[in-house]
């Protein structure tokens, strides 16, 4: 087993990431209990991924992302993004996950965002700064929350591979308690690869992206934000697309197509932007 794999998955088993909104420490027992669950349910190898397994899978995927990107040290910005993210998450079709939603900023100028299974959402500093208002930031985060609500990350895991994982868990459960990190690498590496490659390399299907856009518009309206904010931020992204071939432009459908579809679903009238939101965004993002 390659050492780099051991490093990122060990990170996934460490206490939750040090940005605003994270829950308490991760004990050994919950991870071991997953293995025990696998042992007692090995016969049900075709069952879907549970919410707790989705959470640990998402932690491992996030650790992979952190091998390529650095979490911003701007605690105030992380806290602000987390507050906006929590606001839209509460109004989404999946307001609760196994250990809640957590949001953080990646310290890169690249335009991108990642919705790790289970509710861990990371947005790049470049995409945050592309937004011109809190409503537009909320629109980006609402799109990522929609991916979590639709379980798009989990759905990218090969069903055949997951069946193999569950069967293996049944035969290795006894040894797993003594070597959690090493065995989880063996059991989950393929599943993590599925999710990581979909999110970072290939992207979700066009249908999944369009569905996330549509739900983001609805969520924005429920949360009291401007439902046209997604159209606005897509227009901003289009202006920067000619100079950015990678990142979000590599893994998403053409921004012009997304924009055209969003404009057909978003309400025509926009509510006035609250002055306190305008000022808050200016203070936190600049």
Give pLDDT tens digits for 55-94: 988 998 999 999 999 999 999 999 999 999 999 999 999 9
Residue 60 and residue 27: Cα distance in Å, rounded?
Answer: 15
Mean pLDDT, the chain, rounded, equals: 78
Q: DSSP label at 71?
A: B
What is the SS3 assignment for 108? coil
pLDDT surpasses 50 at 13: no
Average pLDDT over residues 135-149: 97
pLDDT at 123 over 90: yes
pLDDT > 70? residue 126: yes
pLDDT value, residue 245:
60
pLDDT at 2 over 90: no
- Arithmetic mean of pLDDT, 20-35: 42
Domain ranges of the chain: 3-157+200-285
Identify the pLDDT of residue 207.
92
Is the Cβ–Cβ distance between 192 and 60 less than 8 Å? yes
For the entire predicted model, the pTM comes to 0.77
Q: For residue 273, what pLDDT is reported? A: 66
Asked if the model's pLDDT at residue 238 lies above 60, the reply is: yes
Beta bridge pairs of residue 121? 103, 115
Contacts of 101 (CB under 8 A, 6+ apart): 21, 85, 86, 89, 119, 120, 121, 145, 148
* Residue 167 predicted with pLDDT over 80: no
> Does the structure show a pLDDT above 50 at 215?
yes
Contact 35, 172 (CB under 8 A): yes
Output the pLDDT for position 17. Answer: 46
Least confident range of 119-123, 137-141, 200-204, 253-257: 200-204
pLDDT score recorded for residue 48: 75
Q: Using CA atoms, how far apart are residues 75 and 83, in angstroms rounded to an integer?
A: 12
Q: What is the mean pLDDT of residues 175-187?
A: 46
pLDDT of 156 > 60? The answer is yes
Q: How confident is the model at residue 21, as a pLDDT?
A: 46
pLDDT for the residue numbered 199 = 83
């Amino acid at each position: 087993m390659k050492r780099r794999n051991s490093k990122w998955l060990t990170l996934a088993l460490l206490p939750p990431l040090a940005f605003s909104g994270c829950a308490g420490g991760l004990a050994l027992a919950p991870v071991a209990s997953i293995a025990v669950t696998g042992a007692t349910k090995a016969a049900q190898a075709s069952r879907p991924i549970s919410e707790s397994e989705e959470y640990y899978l998402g932690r491992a995927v996030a650790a992979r992302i952190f091998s390529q990107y650095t979490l911003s040290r701007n605690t105030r910005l992380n806290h602000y993004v987390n507050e906006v993210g929590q606001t839209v998450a509460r109004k989404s079709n999946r307001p609760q996950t196994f250990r809640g939603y957590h949001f953080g900023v990646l310290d890169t100028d690249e335009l991108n965002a990642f919705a790790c299974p289970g509710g861990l959402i990371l947005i790049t500093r470049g995409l945050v700064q592309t937004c011109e208002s809190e409503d537009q930031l909320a629109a980006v985060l609402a799109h990522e929350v929609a991916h979590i609500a639709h379980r798009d990350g989990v759905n990218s895991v090969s069903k055949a591979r997951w069946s193999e994982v569950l069967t293996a868990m049944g035969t290795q459960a006894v040894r797993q308690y003594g070597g959690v990190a090493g065995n989880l690498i063996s059991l989950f590496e393929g599943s993590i690869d599925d999710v990581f490659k979909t999110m970072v390399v290939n992207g979700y299907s066009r249908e999944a992206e369009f569905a996330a856009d549509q739900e983001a518009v609805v969520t924005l309206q429920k949360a009291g934000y401007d439902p046209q904010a997604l159209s606005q931020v897509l227009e901003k992204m289009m202006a920067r697309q000619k100079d950015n071939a990678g990142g979000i432009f590599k893994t998403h459908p053409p921004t012009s197509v997304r924009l055209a579809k969003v404009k057909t679903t978003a309400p025509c009238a926009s509510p006035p932007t609250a002055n306190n939101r305008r000022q808050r965004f200016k203070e936190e993002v600049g």
